[in-house]
Structure 1
Amino acid sequence: MDVEDLFPENPLEPTVAYIGISQTPFTVPWAKGRVQLCTGFNSRRTQSDDLFINRAAFQDIAAIPFQYRECQITSIRDESGSSIASSYENNNFAISASVGGSFLGASGRGTYEKNTRDNRNQSNITVRADHVCGQIEVSRIPQLAKDAVTLLNTSADPINEFRQKYGDFYVAGCRVGAVNNTTISGELTNKSSFEEMHAELKVKVVLATFEKSIHEVSKSASNIGGLNVVAFDSLTDFYSNFTALTYEDSLKADGVAVANKEKAMTIANRAADVLLREFSIGREQNTYIHQGVVDRLCDRGLVTELQLAPFATLREYQSILWRRYSWERFKQLE
């Protein structure tokens, strides 16, 4: 398959298959459930294939130690319709959508991201809050399994056969934290006037300003064609999709949006509290954990992103192929 065949229809919305060509690490949103670190992923998979490959390319992955590194990062962003279309989250979700949205699955976050992406060109206001408490990484890269080594040494097409059997990427780590999003949109007939109103109101992180903006947009939208509020909070597993067609309903929508925005303002403290109270993580900067803890973090909704790395960057993988190709080249020169 040529590069041209894998080039995305929209260059601003990359696909997993296209990213796989460059064999560089990438990050995807995660909200589906448990995931085994060091498990394989095939960037050329079809939507009917399992998301991850059950066959392990590494030796004894159940015994691999992981390290948690604290890195407290909070981001709260206000976006309008024009910026949503090209935002990092939209591109990140596009990667997931290219494999059927499998990285987010039928979760509240997945439903929220799909709704926002599908309506990203409408007149809307979105407030996104993300907090990263830390990152879980493989403390040491394990050796390749004997069968994987044999395949690389003997296969007529080692790279493609390895990808088909074990994948071309593996889950190298994950980010632990929380996500909170609120989107307010209206089916407005005059988008330019909406954008002027949005610029004038200057929706900021400050809650009072945000409340005023919602109120003004609610009145306008309810008079012209409706107001929709979609809200999500990963720590409370909260998801709401509320459509208001009357002014009275729009006041209820205001309440949903403002309440979720209050959660966004405290996302860092809430995430750190859950991590410390339920997992005793946070007292020390670097902590060693095992897969069982990763499973519990996934169950709690605290794993927000997965980091995928290519097998091709592993020293052992490269060394095996280099020795093989060097020997084959030497034999040809005899």
Structure 2
Amino acid sequence: MSLLRDVDLWGAFPNTRDCQPYIYRSVNARAMEIRYITVIAYLIALMGEMSAQSHVRVDTIPSVTGAGHLYLSLEVPLGEMHIKSSGVCGLNVGRFASHDSMLAPFYETQLDTFGNLVCHMSLVKNQLIPRDPTARTAVSNSHRFREQLYDMESYTSTEIPQTEFLPDPELSTDLYLNLGMGAARLDFSDLNLHNASVNSAFSDIVILYDRPNKQRMEQLEVRTAKGDVMVKNVELARADLVTIQNNWGDTQVVLGDRGNGKSTIYLKTGMGSTTLIVKKDQPVQIVLRAGIFTSLNISDRFKRSPNSRGILVNAAFEADPANATKVICQNDFGDITIIETD
């Protein structure tokens, strides 16, 4: 029996078979050949990486030429979730791996009236996948995801499924990610995100940047009920506003010195620790909102603002306040640790 299941370059998704002619209509034969070879080689590499799994599915969503924007909604109620750039202009790749065939990804794709590509992926039990791909469109994403979480309670396999989505790095994207129980490693490096929202029930979340987002982002938002959250090199998100709200768990944020614009970061922890690590060359102003059950561990490199006891600044802020990042740290029960590194 083949290790690969339902692998279909153009037919794995509703409404994507029609995308093929749009992709190649304005491309000369030489470029088309190079692109075809690149896509095939990329998919073969993806399949090879997961050949040890007994149930693997690899799907592609071509970005329609002329689509101005991608609205990408991903719902993963169980298991590990990975996101990173596909590295290929015009190509979105979804892949799923599990040792059994009870779970499968279900996709809906369409173009809206404004020419934007709308893609929704949800991880569901095989028997729950509707035959009519439009049957679920009338149900709100939040209500649908809540139903999926309840249904996963009856999933008895001890195997943790793995889901990965590799977005088109060139297409401007609004990302909405709903997570249930598991973990997520989200490498947003070199993507073209306009907005990103991550909502989690009981998952640990790691967001990484080693290259900047390709456009100025409006908002990066992370909300979790219970779990640990880590965001590395948050300045490379190039977001006007970063909101991380963790009701129960530890939050760690690394703010480097490679940003090129002012931003506001709001860190709120209900019960747990909040750790902020700042590079010394990054101008930063920190507003502390500590509860009566919160302890503070502040590096001696930070100075109290003369105008307010609850505001801290570093030496880089005093040298360049106009380009400073403002960080608001709120913690109800736990501790706040602020470190400056070289």
TM-score band, normalised by the shorter chain?
under 0.3
Q: Which of the pair has more CA radius of gyration? A: 1
Please identify which structure carries the higher helix content.
Answer: 1
TM-score using structure 1 length: 0.24
Please identify which structure carries the higher strand content.
Answer: 2
TM-score using structure 2 length: 0.24
